Amino acid sequence: MIRIIIAGEHAIVRGGLRHIIATGSDMVVTAEAGHGSDLLGKLRNCAVDLLLLDMTMPGVSGVDLLRRVHAEQPSLPVLVLSIHDEAQVASRVLRAGATGYLTKDSDPALLLDAIRKLGDGGRFIDPKLVDALVFETHHSDVPPHEALSDREFQVLQMLAAGRSINEIAQVHARSAKTVSTHKMRLMHKLGLANNAELIRYAIRHGLTPSDLPYG
């Protein structure tokens, strides 16, 4: 029996995932978490075989949360659910420690297949992304944006999509000053001097998905 913890911000989404998992006789949901810190606490105290992670949660979230989970429990399989079907986003998640990546528009049967694959010690990539990810692995140089924090990466994407500092602050419930600090740090890390260079960098690396915010 594969014991699963579901982590995601929205209770209705977690309920839908629980319902799908209940159709599999070889798996069971043993815990849920709706906040990043809550997830870390439950992972320390609950016996689970797999983490099903929706990347959007309050508190510690996204790639930053994934890195912390991987640091504390490096052998725990993590299946990430995301709205994004871009290979660059999937690659970033996998490098942070995920063992599986599945888009949210996938068929429920594919979710069960992914859980079983990870439960058996394997890895699973959404079939729609396999070719793009295989092609990407031929690039040996790790791009500079891999060094960004999750929040800096989100700000980079949204700035490149034409969002203003104030719009980004509103979406992520942060102050404009905080977002400006993220922008300053990411531009320093990427060696960018102005917004035009930022946009060119994002386009060159395929970091401008249309369905922002990232999650």
Domain identity same for 17 and 121: yes
Of the listed ranges 50-59, 71-80, 138-147, the one predicted with least confidence: 138-147
CATH number at residue 156: 1.10.10.10
The 10s digit of each residue's pLDDT in 149-201 is: 878 888 998 999 889 999 999 988 889 999 999 999 898 888 888 888 899 88
Neighbouring C-alpha atoms within 13 Å toward the C-beta of 67: 13
The 10s digit of each residue's pLDDT in 89-119 is: 788 788 888 999 999 889 999 999 999 999 9
Domain identity same for 114 and 10: yes
61 pLDDT band, cuts 50/70/90, is low
Whether the CB-CB separation of 75 and 53 falls below 8 Å is answered with no
Cα–Cα–Cα angle for 116, 10, 75, rounded to 5 degrees: 35
> Using omega within 30 degrees of 0 as the cis cutoff, is the peptide bond preceding 213 cis?
yes
- Which two three-digit tokens encode residue 50? 């797999």
Domain membership flag for residue 209: no
Q: Report, as an integer, the average pLDDT of 23-39.
A: 94
**pLDDT score of 101:** 95
The 10s digit of each residue's pLDDT in 126-142 is: 988 887 776 655 444 56
Domain range for 39: 2-136
Domain identity same for 98 and 166: no
**pLDDT score of 108:** 95
Domain identity same for 107 and 131: yes
CATH number at residue 87: 3.40.50.2300
**pLDDT score of 136:** 58
Give the Å distances, CA to CA, from 11 to 15, 23, 78, 104, 181.
6, 19, 19, 15, 32
**pLDDT score of 204:** 84
Distance of CA 4 to the CA centre of its chain: 18
Domain membership flag for residue 96: yes
Number of domains into which the chain is organized:
2
Last residue of a domain, one of 88, 115, 136: 136
**pLDDT score of 129:** 85
